[in-house]
Amino acid sequence: MVRYGIVGCGHIAKKHVSAIQADPGAVLVAVCDTNEERLKEFTIDGVIGYTDLADMLKADIDVVSICTPSGLHPALTIQVAEAKKHVIVEKPMALTLEDADRMIDACEENGVKMAVVHPNRFRPAIVELRKQIENEKFGTIGHANATVRWNRNQAYYDQAPWRGTKAMDGGVLMNQAIHNMDLLLWMMGDVDEVYTYDATRIRQIEAEDTSISVIRFQNGALGVLEAAVTIYPKNLEESLSIFGEKGSAVVGGPTANWIKTWDFEGLTEEEVAQVKEQITQDPWGMPGHECIIRDMTLAITEDRTPIVSGTEGRAALGLVVACQMSAESGKPIKMSTLKRNILTK
């Protein structure tokens, strides 16, 4: 059994607990939080609670899930890696590329694996879309579009003083749309250049609540990313659309779980209906966090790299950083200017 610990006993930690409990090859043995009251909810069924991570790392643990506010991820990841424990870190893995590189280096230097929580890759409709990319069913792709039209009201940000701050949390790109940016990169490949406008229009936060980006990918395709947490009165849409010379596909809904458009050269109406029905019967599939946990368990037992590695997590973070730089400077940003461990403007 792969033995797991969790640091940070907030809302997202509950998903990690459920995912570990659902994995037949894993067991949760310890949790850590500086707040003893929060620990009580998690220290059941033999799970030991710690208020000091250094103490928890002395226990017989193989993997630590980091579920703290984003700004704490780098230091905690490095501490865990130096204790020779594998790491699962919630998104975003860090708020700067310099921190992301330090995290990756620490894991490599200490011979431990890192996985970043981008669970949307495992949604059935997204998996099916990826198959069409791999099988070149689109032909030459013209453009892609990712949309996040969600509501995170002021009460959401007022829950804790770190929410919506640039130092500890980030805005709609870092917190919500980074998942969609990960999917864009997974489907479309590396980005050449991005131009972004952003604004803080409605929410009383330090970071942006609305962002619009135009993207040019290295393969020549274009893209648009629209992200907002200001939609009234509730989440309206999350979608990923890809358009090519031989195919058009849109995965959407309030969350990107359903196939809205599925047209490919040579595909009959009956075949299209069959794919849509298959997804409709199980639009969520295995919970994404469970997929991440199971993949880490297998990565350890099979001695391989996790599917969503630190390098993969860094790529999505890099696109967020480029968008932020563009919005701040009012200029397009070449991804080639984002060097490893060095950020040049």
Q: What is the pLDDT of residue 345?
A: 38
CA distance 188 to 186: 6
Residues 141 and 269 in one domain: yes
Residues 135 and 272 in one domain: yes
Strands 333-334 and 247-252 come out as unpaired
Counting the structural domains of the chain, the total is 2
Residues 200 and 168 in one domain: yes
Residues 93 and 136 in one domain: no
Q: Assess contact for 210 and 230: CB atoms under 8 A.
A: yes
Residues 261 and 155 in one domain: yes
Query: What is the average pLDDT score of the chain?
Result: 96
In a domain, 340, yes or no: no
Residues 114 and 142 in one domain: no
Strands 2-7 and 26-32 come out as parallel
In a domain, 333, yes or no: no
pTM reported for the whole predicted model:
0.95
Residues 107 and 164 in one domain: no
The number of angstroms, rounded, from the C-alpha of 174 to the middle of its chain's C-alpha atoms is 9
Structural domain boundaries, residue 141: 123-284
Residues 73 and 49 in one domain: yes
- Helix (H/G/I), strand (E/B), else coil: 115: strand
DSSP label at 85? -
- Residue range 285-334, pLDDT digits in tens: 999 999 999 999 999 999 999 999 999 999 999 999 999 999 999 999 99
- Residue range 88-139, pLDDT digits in tens: 999 999 999 999 999 999 999 999 999 999 999 999 999 999 999 999 999 9
List the CATH number of the domain containing 19: 3.40.50.720
User: Residue with structure tokens 């997974």?
Assistant: 186
Q: What is the mean pLDDT of residues 27-39?
A: 96
Q: How many CA atoms lie within 13 A of 186 on its CB side?
A: 27
Which pair of structure tokens corresponds to residue 228?
């907002």
Element (H, E) at 340: none
Residues 128 and 250 in one domain: yes
Q: 339: pLDDT confidence band, cut at 50, 70 and 90?
A: confident
- Helix (H/G/I), strand (E/B), else coil: 269: helix
CA distance 310 to 287: 21
The number of angstroms, rounded, from the C-alpha of 203 to the middle of its chain's C-alpha atoms is 23
Q: Which residues contact 192 (CB under 8 A, 6 or more apart)?
A: 216, 217, 218, 334, 335, 336
Residues 157 and 217 in one domain: yes
> How buried is 209 (Cβ within 10 angstroms: 0-12 exposed, 13-18 middle, 19+ buried)?
buried
Could you say which of 252, 284, 316 is where a domain stops?
284
Q: What is the mean pLDDT of residues 255-271?
A: 97
Q: What is the pLDDT of residue 341?
A: 57
Confidence check: pLDDT of 344 > 50? no
Residues 213 and 267 in one domain: yes
